[in-house]
Chains A and B, each alone.
Chain A
Amino acid sequence: MASDVKPRVKVPKQAAAGEVITIKTLISHKMESGQRKDKEGNAIPRSIINRFTCDFNGENVIEVTLEPAISTNPYFEFEAIVPEAGEFTFTWYDDDGSVYDTSKKITIG
């Protein structure tokens, strides 16, 4: 399921040292739950994003284990501390082995 899977993140461009910021993340992914059946009545196999992590300068912010009950186009909103300037990295892990990632830099000011 690696086609049309596109991550998007919303991170402020700048923060004060030690500030808590809000981060929003979205990834376009069908999240095939494994519960649906096709026209012939056969179960469509599960194929989801099963894990999401956010790190900042190598230190973990949050880790999420996703199950099929997470909606299509998984969305997460959470907060992070920004101790210094650096880069947030966001990683999504797919059942099929694909890994999607994106990153966003933030400056102190």
Chain B
Amino acid sequence: MELTRRSAIILGAGALFAAGLPKQGSAATSEELISAFTGGAEIGAGDIELTAPEIAENGNTVPIAVSSGSAAEILVLAMGNPTPNVATFKFGKLAGSRAASTRIRLAGTQDVVAIAKLDDGSFVQASSTVKVTIGGCGG
């Protein structure tokens, strides 16, 4: 394709537009992840709890927990990370509860979201804002 002035301007504008998108993670990607998980179904509020600190001691290792009464599967997303996907928990027949704890990496202050697929096929979500700070002398 010949690089005419017109196409150069369009290319340039496209690049600027992409660069100007909000840095809060690639919104399209988390949308894609969510719709892949829910099949496009509506997400309500309800039987899902997300526990995360208000302020993370360090973004490298942030303890979180998810808990539900009847979730078959729980998807966890970090909406502000370069790639929002964090983990998916799938509870088996011998799961003692629909709950799990882990430690995650957060690139900066952002919302952590947990979406649960309940036994009855419905979807619910909870979210928590975690502040990730820069500490000390940078050391």
Contacts and interface: CB of A to CB of B under 8 A. Distances in A.
A and B pair up: yes
B114 to A, nearest CB: 13
Interface in A1-32: 20-22
Q: Is the interface of A mostly helix, strand, loop or mixed?
A: strand
B100 A69 contact: no
A35 B82 contact: yes
Contact of A78 (B81, B95, B103): B95
B88 interface: yes
Nearest to A57: B94
B92 interface: yes
Interface residues of A, number: 31
A108 interface: no
Nearest to A69: B86
Nearest to A80: B96
Given A61-B95, A81-B96, A75 B103 contact: yes
A66 B89 CA distance: 9
Interface string B57-83: 000111001000000000000100111
A20 B82 CA distance: 37
B6 interface: no
Interface in A54-96: 54-56, 59-72, 74-81, 83
B92 A70 contact: no
A78 B83 contact: no
Contact of B104 (A54, A56, A69, A77): A69
Contacts, number: 100
A70 B90 contact: no
A52 B83 CA distance: 20
A47 interface: no
B5 interface: no
A103 interface: no
A71 B100 CA distance: 15
Contact of B105 (A55, A59, A60, A71): A71
Given A69-B78, A76-B102, 17 more contacts: A55-B94, A56-B94, A60-B93, A60-B94, A64-B90, A64-B100, A65-B88, A67-B85, A67-B87, A68-B105, A69-B85, A70-B102, A71-B61, A71-B103, A71-B105, A76-B101, A78-B95
Interface of A: 20-22, 33, 35, 54-56, 59-72, 74-81, 83
